[in-house]
Structure 1
Amino acid sequence: MVKKRWGVYVHIPFCRKKCFYCDFPSYAGREGDREEYTRALCREIRSQGSSYRLRWGDPATIYIGGGTPTSLPPQCMKDILDALSETFPPAKGREFTVECNPGTVDEAYFQILREGAVNRLSFGVQSFDDRLLQAIGRIHTAGEAAAAVRMARKAGFDNLSLDLMYGLPGQTMADLERSVQQALELAPQHLSIYGLQVEEHTVFWDRRERGELNLPDDEEAERMYDYMTSVLPAHGYARYEISNFARPGFASRHNLAYWQDVPYLGLGAAAHSYLDGRRWESEADLSRYMDQAKRGIRPIHPEEEMTDAVAMEEFCFLALRTAAGISRRRFAEKFGQELDRVYEGAIREMVRKGLLADKGDSVYLTELGMKFGNLVFEAFLLT
């Protein structure tokens, strides 16, 4: 067995209600499928997980995301955690995250997570303003979010992350400042802050097409961005990725692995995997996924193999999202070519514009580059 650094992602495609901005593969109103899906997922965990553990050893991280994992009935969650514990015995130092919606958890649910070796929770709070929460389709209130975080601490969790959003319909700077201050009062170890992106096939997309979406203008959205990127470091949260801030030692190791080209196994409908240099997606259609799993068919769709040029682009895009940036050494090890031989012109131009810094082994985004990252990513396109 060759031990290798790798991670496991488990997808739970259920929600009580689809948020108005969400284009993730998830379903509301399919509660009747949760037990069958759990059985199919547990079969996949045991079969595929065991195979890769035999080859590579124990995964460094496990992450259960969605959808809303905690919208599962407690027994379904317990069955999944049991299957994971049997397949990947709890290991010292492993980061094991579960995403939580504050409107779907209570003390008993937290106890199930604790007993299942989960040691990190990520709360999708988005805002501490009830008016805004209702406007974006969330099912919880600000009070429920704060209560859930306190309840999690009481249950013994000491690694908590909160998601917040800016650029929401009708949101003002004052609204955002109040939400950030309330988040800081809860003292999470980690904060993820995302600007609203209006995606196709969402309620917000349709509303914008009809001229019914009242978004902050570009200047206001930029002020919101500037506020967060200054206030969070001032409160001890280091920015380690474009949208993520953490206290020392609490950066998300699972998400960092994605950006650092670390292999991962995706389990569940619509989950993506990146292993042995190949990428594939599990069957996204819930009914087909469950049917194929029941018949012993591995429900995956291989993705097209990447050319060297596309692989280089992706490697650079992902690495540049992090504060550490691109490692020249790792680029050369992976591709057998020097970074500067491929990207000398792009690096020189972006450094000249103040968007990139170039020091020793690393090429990384400056603070200005973090704000205008798309300009840098465009410069790193080869195809």
Structure 2
Amino acid sequence: MTNEKRAWGVYVHIPYCVKKCAYCDFVSASMGTETVREQEQYAAALRAEIRHAAPPLFTRWGSAATAYFGGGTPTALPAHLLTGIISALREAAGIPEEMTVEANPGTVDEAYFRQLRAAGANRISLGVQSFDDALLRRIGRIHTAAEARAAFRAARAADFTNISLDLMYGLPGQTLVDVRESVCAALALAPEHISVYGLTVEEGTPFAAAEAAGRLELPTEETAEEMYDYLVAELPARGYLRYEISNFARPGYESRHNLGYWRSVPYLGVGAGAHGYIDNVRWENERDAAAYIRRVTAGEDVRRAEDGARTQTAAMEEYAFLALRTAAGIDEADFRRAWGTPFEAVYGAALPPLVARGLLRRADGFTALTPRGMKFGNEVFAEFLLY
């Protein structure tokens, strides 16, 4: 262990939602009348975990560079609980240069945002998904398009100068016209960052049950492809550069925290169901919020799924998959520094066919997906498996 300064991040998981969306398989649960007391206990447990786990990393590497509050819905917590967690993080991990809080438009107002800003948050990620009220109801969102616009303006009024909007495509009953209208509505607000996600029907969700029963009317593959093609052409044309498969930003407003994931930067995960990655070891915390609270209160370790130090082969595969998600791609010199072997020596045989098919480009010491490669990324990733 050294005291050399190194970039690292903190991910904080808040597993509460006002209502769980029909497509969501994240660690989260809808709130009931009994949840208020549990939220207080959960916030106390989170503060305790942060105060235990973050100081050794602060001593080792200095202040965390980034922090990200995700969920669930972080803003489902009362503001004083969320800002208390932020304060504990700043005390234990230092003051991150970028601190993002995910927010549901149906849970926030200007007063809430002002409290977050005063506590040290400087980036907001609004889960809008669509500006079509009928679609929002269909997927289980609690907000309307008008409330999404109001939430964005409230964040601006509270002095947030870095705001991201999430949009989705491929939703049940959604058309290309719907996607175009939502993009136009998002662009009219002029956010700094836009994320776009295609719907994936995850096992165990209401959408999966509806699909199994033949009641989920999804767009055809052709229509979903048209939506994708429109998004990846329109957003860059409007000044939002694509820096990762699903993420677009004005220059200088890329999510530093998420870039850390894709560049294999270490991060501490705290909270129920949070994942972390330190010293080539990945883990997942206890997923059940009540059990998480009990274990933290009892002074027990909440990391329930450490995979141990992985083989170099598995680590190289993961490094390649994550880096290829970014527009920059794999830095071949960094690959050699990380693994002690030339990139060509590991993947040389796989590269020429992918370049010939127009899926990869190689230049200036980087190997990256082409626009076509981003569209068919799974085909490329399969060729980066090491058997």
For this structure pair, what is the TM-score category when the shorter chain's length is used for normalisation?
Answer: over 0.9
**Which has the larger displacement, 74-83 or 344-353?**
74-83
SS in 1 for 2:341: coil
Q: Does 1:171 align with 2:147?
A: no
Residue from 333, 353, 358 that aligns with 1:329:
333
2:75 corresponding residue in structure 1: 70
- Give the distance between the partners of 1:140 and 1:3, measured in 2 at CA: 42
2:65 corresponding residue in structure 1: 60
Residue from 117, 133, 141 that aligns with 2:136:
133
The answer to whether the 8 A contact 2:169-2:198 is kept is: yes
Letter in 2 for 1:353: R
Letter in 2 for 1:347: L
5+ long unaligned stretches in structure 2: none
Q: Does 1:348 align with 2:352?
A: yes
- Give the distance between the partners of 1:123 and 1:309, measured in 2 at CA: 37
Letter in 2 for 1:266: G
Residue from 365, 368, 376 that aligns with 2:369:
365
Residue from 39, 46, 50 that aligns with 2:51:
46
Q: Does 1:161 align with 2:164?
A: yes
Q: Does 1:202 align with 2:208?
A: no
- Give the distance between the partners of 1:247 and 1:78, measured in 2 at CA: 28
Residue from 322, 339, 349 that aligns with 1:318:
322
Letter in 1 for 2:283: W
**Deviation (angstroms), 1:75:** 1.9
Q: Normalised by the size of structure 2, how large is the TM-score?
A: 0.97
- Give the distance between the partners of 2:169 and 2:280, measured in 1 at CA: 36
**Deviation (angstroms), 1:304:** 4.1
Letter in 2 for 1:331: F
For residues 83-122 of structure 1, the aligned pairs below 5 Å read: 83-90=88-95, 94-122=97-125
The answer to whether the 8 A contact 2:296-2:302 is kept is: yes
The answer to whether the 8 A contact 2:262-2:322 is kept is: yes
The answer to whether the 8 A contact 1:85-1:116 is kept is: no
SS in 2 for 1:300: coil
For residues 17-32 of structure 1, the aligned pairs below 5 Å read: 17-30=19-32, 31-32=35-36
Q: Does 1:124 align with 2:127?
A: yes
The answer to whether the 8 A contact 2:6-2:62 is kept is: yes
1:82 corresponding residue in structure 2: 87
| Identity %, equivalent residues | 54
Letter in 2 for 1:12: I
**Deviation (angstroms), 1:78:** 2.1
5+ long unaligned stretches in structure 1: none
**Deviation (angstroms), 1:325:** 0.4
1:183 corresponding residue in structure 2: 186
1:296 corresponding residue in structure 2: 299
Q: Does 1:34 align with 2:34?
A: no
**Deviation (angstroms), 1:310:** 1.2
- Give the distance between the partners of 2:110 and 2:137, measured in 1 at CA: 25
- Give the distance between the partners of 1:226 and 1:78, measured in 2 at CA: 40
1:376 corresponding residue in structure 2: 380
1:336-367 Cα shifts (integer Å, max 9, x gaps): 11111111121111001000001131000001
> Runs of at least 4 residues of structure 1 off by over 6 A?
none
1:277 corresponding residue in structure 2: 280
- Give the distance between the partners of 1:310 and 1:329, measured in 2 at CA: 19
- Give the distance between the partners of 2:247 and 2:299, measured in 1 at CA: 39
1:10-59 Cα shifts (integer Å, max 9, x gaps): 00011111100000011113524111000000011111112211111101
**Residues 89, 360 of structure 1: CA spacing in aligned structure 2 closer, same or farther, 3 A cutoff?**
closer
Letter in 2 for 1:374: N
Letter in 2 for 1:322: T
Q: Normalised by the size of structure 1, how large is the TM-score?
A: 0.98
The answer to whether the 8 A contact 1:281-1:303 is kept is: no
